[in-house]
Structure 1
Amino acid sequence: MARAFFSSVLVFLFAVVCAVPTQIDTRQLNPADIINALGVGLVSKIHTIITLESLTTNLVSIDFDVKNPLPVELTIKEISSSAGLNGTVYARFNHTFPAPGLVVPLLGTKNSGRIDNVLLPLGAVASLEIIPVGFLDLLDTDAKIKAATIFGHLGIPLELEGLKQEEVPATYDLSIS
């Protein structure tokens, strides 16, 4: 019931933002601020793969699940994010999804697929300390998406800047091979 209410509110706010004439400076009407204010987290889990090579390159691979609380399809074209704990950035990446993008069904969930070359700015060894915590905060995430797409095509383009989300469940695999 509460999920349906918040979804309805989010759809209403989304419709209001999309109905604004294009002459208005859209930086004042950032949909990410609405998502942050409602506490609607779009990422339901993060999975990190750490290899032996990660210890020297400070690069890992990740995948994450995106949940769509809206009754319309969302397609993510590009995403950049920094994640960490207590305001400290432990991981950072930029990724462009192959066409048509990462299509997330209405009221559904979709995995991102493997994303390589995620930078650990503090280094792999220093980043190992966060593994037992079991979650990460998304400190600053920007995404280029299209809302109300049909199989990833058409839709309303939106830029989400400054998405934040706390305590996203995180798992880690140490791959020695």
Structure 2
Amino acid sequence: MARFGSLFFGLVAALFVSASPAARGLQPTPANLLGEIINALQIGLVTHINATITLDTLTTNLLSIEFGAQNPLIFELTLDSVTSTAGINDTVYATFNHTFAKPVVVPPLGTANSGTVDNVLLTQGAIASLDIIPLGYLDLLNVDINIRALTINGKLGIPLVISGLHQKNVSTT
């Protein structure tokens, strides 16, 4: 409960700071602050990753994923876009930048599925990446998300950018 209270306070503070005129200048952004708060509290926003590897992946080094997103807050969050790098032991194996055609609505204290995210690049190549499959997990090395907080059925809300998120040992199939 203490972690939830701290995250709630951090998010509310970031909402007010990002709305202030000073925050729009050249000062440090609330995106970095909010990302650091989430990292410090070790609140993972991703529940799992499912990767789909096809025969084409072996030649294109591109695959598709879907992931589960969780919302530890008592109000709705809507994901508009995600940029991510993932790997093992600080080695990047996959990267993508995706804007959702239909934003992902994550209910209060709930979870939602991202839907298919295509064109995830295997930076080490498909063959070299096959070795990490048996591990069953990936580390999210850097995640930047554009969300809207306090949405109502995915509409309206307060836009926020959260950058520099990290998460270890995300279950991956």
**Unmatched 5+ residue regions in structure 2?**
none
C-alpha offsets along residues 40-99 of structure 1, whole Å, 9 cap, x if unaligned?
Answer: 000000000000110000001100000100001000111010000000000000100114
Secondary structure, counterpart of 2:172 in structure 1: strand
Note if 1:63 corresponds to 2:66.
yes
Aligned match of 1:23? 22
Q: Offset at 1:116?
A: 1.0
1:9 is matched with which residue: 1, 6, 9? 6
Aligned match of 2:131? 129
Secondary structure, counterpart of 2:170 in structure 1: strand
Within 2, Cα distance between the matches of 1:72 and 1:55? 42
Q: Identity of counterpart residues, as a percentage? A: 51
Q: Offset at 1:169?
A: 0.4
TM-score of the superposition, structure 2-length normalised? 0.92
Higher mean alpha-carbon deviation, 13-22 vs 67-76, is at 13-22
Within 2, Cα distance between the matches of 1:68 and 1:22? 28
**Unmatched 5+ residue regions in structure 1?**
172-177
Aligned match of 1:147? 149
TM-score of the superposition, structure 1-length normalised? 0.90
Q: Offset at 1:26?
A: 4.6
CA RMSD in angstroms comes to 1.2
Q: Offset at 1:9?
A: 1.9
Aligned match of 2:121? 119
Aligned match of 1:175? none
Q: Offset at 1:31?
A: 0.8
2:37 is matched with which residue: 34, 37, 42? 34
Secondary structure, counterpart of 1:90 in structure 2: strand
Secondary structure, counterpart of 2:162 in structure 1: strand
